[in-house]
Amino acid sequence: MKKCYTTVLTIAGSDGSGGAGIQADIKTFAALECFGLSVITALTAQNTIGVRSVYPVDEKCITEQFRSISEDIAIDAVKIGMLGSTSAIKTVASLIKELQGNPPVIVDTVLASSGGRPLLPPEAIPLMKKELFPLASLITPNLPETALLTGMKEPPATQEAIESAAVQLLETGAAAVLVKGGHGEGEECHDCLLYDNSFFWFSSKKIITGNTHGTGCTLSAAIAAFMAREESIDSAVGMAKEYINEALQAGAAYNLGNGCGPLHHLHRLWL
């Protein structure tokens, strides 16, 4: 009997500079021994310096991309990234409900670029919480996104505040919440996972590098890949954290562009 690929579908925007979005996801899936599939929700003109412009893909195109894949290929996990509009949120939520086999769905709450440019209109945030979060096996907001999603005036800065925010986000219907702590102060990164009525904390020393473009995309893609390989959520998060720390460390040795360069997604394959 022929061996089947482990597949992961990414539904996200394109980054022509290769550091984030669809391109980062596909490289991450390949690095973690999964076959990457994609549905593009937006085209962007961006580089290591920033996002110049965004061109949303219409609902019909998103739907045709998705159904062309799902009607032919079994999907073992889904990663959802940049959607960019209310119409895309509604369309993707509807399409996820069509999937057979109930694969894990990881929602990376992309609200703005790393340079601070908004990538989702503020009025679309309540819709994302209502339509997508109840379908998610895991959502992965960073600290600023956590504040926007919960209505906090400032990003949570203490363990108690982060855990409280995670509980609030879990009440939106997601099965699990990972509050990423990379934007926090100090020399260590502390990520909080709320899953199965328990808190799991993942702590590691921050890697000092200017090449961090696409870190959030890559982490959620790595979690999706490990969950496609049937790891539990807590195990997938731990393994993904290990992978991304290695990718950040390896990427620090390379220069690409004149701004914030990418991490090294394929560091385990480049000997």
* 201 token code pair: 């904390």
Active-site residue, selected from the candidate residues 189, 192, 217, 260: 217
Candidates 182, 214, 238, 261; catalytic one: 214
- Written as six digits, the tokens of 81 are 């990234």
pLDDT of residue 123: 87
Structure tokens at 113: 């670029």
- The reply to whether 259 falls in a domain is no
Q: Yes or no: say if 89 and 133 are a contact pair by the CB < 8 Å rule.
A: no
Q: Is residue 31 part of a domain?
A: yes
**Catalytic residue, candidates 13, 216, 238, 261:** 216
> Where do runs of H (alpha helix) occur along 120-228?
125-127, 143-150, 159-170, 215-228
Q: How many Å apart are CA 269 and CA 265, to the nearest integer?
A: 9
Residue 226 identity (one-letter amino acid): F
- 225: domain CATH number? 3.40.1190.20
Give whole-number Cα distances, 49 to 56, 73, 150, 195, 222, in Å.
Answer: 21, 37, 29, 36, 24
Long-range contacts of 263-268 (CB under 8 A, 24+ apart): 263/19, 263/211, 263/212, 263/213, 263/214, 263/215, 263/218, 265/24, 265/27, 265/28, 265/31, 265/218, 266/27, 266/30, 266/31, 267/31, 268/31, 268/243
Let me know if 173 is a catalytic residue. no
Q: Which of 44, 150, 212, 218 is catalytic?
A: 212
Write out the residue range of the structural domain in which residue 163 sits: 7-251
Q: Is residue 265 part of a domain?
A: no
Within a domain: 266: no
Structure tokens at 73: 């290929």
Residue 224 lies in a domain: yes
Phi, psi of 20 (to 5 degrees): -135, -170
- Residue 165, classed as helix, strand or coil, is helix
What's the confidence (pLDDT) of residue 187?
A: 82
Domain count, the chain: 1
Closest CA relative to residue 193, chosen from 147, 236, 130? 236
Residue 189 is among the residues annotated as catalytic for this protein: no
Domain-located, residue 262: no
Active site residue 212: yes
In a domain, 264, yes or no: no
Catalytic hit among 7, 215, 251, 261: 215
pLDDT at 115: 67
Place of tokens 């998610």: 136
| Residue 153 bears catalytic tag | no
Query: pLDDT 10s digit of each residue in the chain, 271 long?
Result: 677 899 999 999 999 999 999 999 999 999 999 999 999 999 999 999 999 999 999 999 999 999 999 999 999 999 999 998 999 999 999 999 999 999 999 999 988 776 667 778 888 899 999 999 999 999 999 999 999 999 999 999 999 999 999 999 999 999 999 999 877 677 888 999 999 999 999 998 989 899 999 999 999 999 999 999 999 999 999 999 999 999 999 999 999 999 999 999 999 888 6
176 assigned to some structural domain: yes
